[in-house]
């Protein structure tokens, strides 16, 4: 196993972090974790040198923390660091901080959490953190030893990311979505460097975009196959991240023992600067090729916002483009229905056309919205044009 620097802290994490969001389950119920398989996967990872395990209050219906706590009994807890998260989106009042943290300590069967994150911060949830005084609650937990280090995970725009980094001087780390497709998405490469320059460790989540970059997409596979050094799509995606010095560790949400073993091999072969200039150029080509499959040429500049009806136009287009880029209509449809708030969905568009003159790409936004709503919400066939 290779080990990396963790921001301003003196500790070194394994290059590969074990994400506990996609553990093996029994049947179709995500809350029913297969404990035997999970424990075997965790044992295998620890034996190989993995020392960072990431979970959250809400993963697997609240049972991810429980499963991890069970697997780490028998002396293994002392060999690893645990990261888990406060579900800010479920916090109603200040007292919820202590209540949830104490519950997490019980679930994890530990008296301290090494790395504690405020989960999935955006502009709205950051304001909630400030309004409810949750940073003071976190500082009290640091002082009494229930948590050792404080950080946050993030899903919003780059300016919001910089605001959160700058508004509080005691962050030790952060967690961002970043992969060779999402270079300019949310915090992106700029946010990675911004946080690292301020001494924060930067943990990477979604290195494979929920598994989509693991698939053999024909347009991308032809380029991968042209490289002198042969790698699987997964290994290309992971090595691209590990080649960057500001990446502190890469989380992988593994669902099988085979995935654990494959990722361990990749991590063992990783190092900063591993990819040559030619190989990085190849990854750039794959990115452009995949993004070129998108039917809507939206650059996410957000000039079209705010929509008077509340539609999050760039996010709606992003989901629609994913269908073509990853050849995954059903999965993307489910993601849109689940993760895009109702007030932000395309169905709210009334074709007022206020957005049209604001769009630098001259996109027919008002024409696209009913098409996208039909595809995602009413089961209509996917289309490459709004006509």
Q: Which domains does the chain have, with CATH numbers?
A: 16-283 (3.20.20.100), 293-387 (no CATH)
Q: Write the DSSP assignment of 125-157 as a string of letters.
A: HHHHHHHTTHHHHHHHHHHHTSEEEEEEEE-S-
3-class secondary-structure state, position 321: helix
Give the chain's residues under pLDDT 50. Answer: none
The pLDDT value recorded for residue 88 is: 95
Closest CA to 64 of 74, 53, 55, 77: 55
The pLDDT value recorded for residue 311 is: 96
Q: Are 363 and 303 in contact (CB under 8 A)?
A: no
| Cα separation, 116 vs 146, whole angstroms | 10
Q: Kindly report the pTM of this predicted structure.
A: 0.84
| Cα separation, 306 vs 9, whole angstroms | 40
The pLDDT value recorded for residue 377 is: 96
Around Cβ 308, how many Cβ atoms within 10 Å?
A: 10
Cis ω before 306 (30° cut-off from 0): yes
> Residue 387 has what DSSP assignment?
-
| Cα separation, 87 vs 99, whole angstroms | 12
Give the model confidence (pLDDT) of 120-146 as tens digits: 999 999 999 999 999 999 999 999 999
The pLDDT value recorded for residue 361 is: 81
The pLDDT value recorded for residue 20 is: 96
Handedness of CA 259, 261, 266, 271 (dihedral sign): positive
The pLDDT value recorded for residue 300 is: 75
């Amino acid at each position: 196993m290779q080990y990396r620097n963790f921001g301003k802290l003196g500790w070194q994490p394994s290059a590969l972090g074990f994400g506990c969001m996609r553990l093996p389950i029994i049947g179709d119920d995500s809350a029913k974790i297969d404990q035997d398989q999970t424990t075997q996967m965790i044992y295998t990872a620890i034996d190989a040198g993995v020392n960072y395990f990431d979970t959250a209050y809400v993963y697997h219906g609240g049972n991810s923390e429980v499963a991890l706590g069970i697997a780490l009994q028998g002396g293994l807890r002392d060999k690893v660091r645990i990261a888990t998260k406060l579900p800010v989106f479920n916090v109603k009042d200040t007292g919820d901080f202590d209540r949830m943290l104490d519950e997490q300590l019980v679930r994890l069967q530990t008296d301290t959490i090494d790395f504690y994150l405020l989960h999935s911060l955006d502009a709205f949830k950051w304001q909630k953190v400030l309004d409810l005084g949750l940073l003071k609650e976190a500082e009290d937990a640091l002082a009494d030893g229930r948590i050792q280090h404080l950080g946050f995970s993030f899903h919003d725009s780059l300016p919001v990311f910089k605001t959160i980094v700058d508004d509080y001087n005691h962050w030790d780390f952060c967690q961002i979505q970043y992969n060779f497709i999402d270079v300019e998405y949310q915090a992106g490469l700029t946010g990675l460097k911004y946080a690292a320059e301020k001494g924060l460790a930067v943990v990477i989540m979604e290195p494979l975009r929920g598994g989509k970059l693991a698939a053999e997409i024909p347009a991308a596979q032809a380029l991968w196959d042209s490289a002198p050094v042969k790698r699987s799509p997964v290994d290309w995606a992971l090595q691209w991240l590990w080649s960057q010095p500001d990446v502190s560790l890469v989380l992988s949400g593994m669902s099988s023992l085979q995935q654990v073993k494959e990722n361990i091999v990749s991590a063992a072969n990783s190092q900063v600067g591993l990819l040559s200039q030619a190989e990085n150029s190849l990854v750039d080509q794959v990115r452009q090729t995949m993004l070129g499959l998108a039917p809507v040429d939206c650059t996410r500049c957000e000039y079209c916002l705010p929509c008077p009806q509340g539609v999050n136009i760039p996010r709606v287009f992003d989901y629609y483009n994913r269908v073509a880029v990853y050849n995954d209509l059903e999965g993307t449809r489910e993601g849109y229905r689940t993760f895009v708030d109702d007030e932000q969905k395309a169905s709210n568009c009334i074709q007022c056309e206020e957005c049209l003159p604001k769009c630098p790409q001259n996109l027919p936004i008002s024409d696209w919205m009913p098409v996208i709503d039909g595809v995602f919400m009413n089961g209509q066939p996917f289309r490459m044009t709004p006509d």
